[in-house]
Structure 1
Amino acid sequence: MERLSSRQWERLERELKRGPLAHGFDDEFQGWTLKRVKLLIGRMFRVGYTVRGVWKLLRRHGWSAQVPLRRAIERDDEAIEVWKAEVWPQVEGPRRTWAPTSASRTRQARG
């Protein structure tokens, strides 16, 4: 059972998007942790969640453990697809077929 109403969730999501610095978390790691989100929920709504409960809440609403805030401006999705389709198969090389092998350096496998 979810303890936050849909209105509270919308408010929480807006605050999460503002970032941890806006809520007084000013150390060198400027990302949200489950513990920080738990503290924020407690401060904003006086509702207690466990760290595991926060993780379930976030997942239920489409948040993941690692969601980049933005992508590089230089990113070219078309070029990436071309590289994966044309260049990578050449770099990777053909797959080996099954054949007996030996871990011994002195004795070759028979097959």
Structure 2
Amino acid sequence: MSRGVDEDLLFRALADPVRRQLLDRLRAAQGLTLAVLIDGLPMTRQGASKHLAMLEAANLVAVVRRGREKLHYLNPVPIQQIAARWIGAFEADRVAGLVEFKRRIEEDGQA
């Protein structure tokens, strides 16, 4: 991952189901205020603020102030970085295995 990214913080932020639910809501609609973001969720504004602070610290949520409002936006870049580093690495091995499998089948067919 790029310099300055705290992977431990990122994984801790993603580990909590409530924080993932907040991220899902931001993926569906960007620029939400705290009130709109937690509408219908069984949590207090204070509890949600703590979760959002963790997501901001992990660089998963960006906040833009508009007057007295704070608008929350999903930052998908750290999640993409995780996918590229961790999932992508596992996929590379699988694809290499498939290439080797194909090579063997083709060799057997020519014999």
Same fold, judged at TM 0.5 (above): no
Larger Rg: 1
TM-score, L = length of structure 2: 0.30
Could you say which structure has the greater relative contact order, defined with CA pairs below 8 angstroms and 6 or more residues apart? 2
- Choose between structure 1 and 2: higher strand proportion: 2
- TM-score norm. by structure 1 comes to 0.30
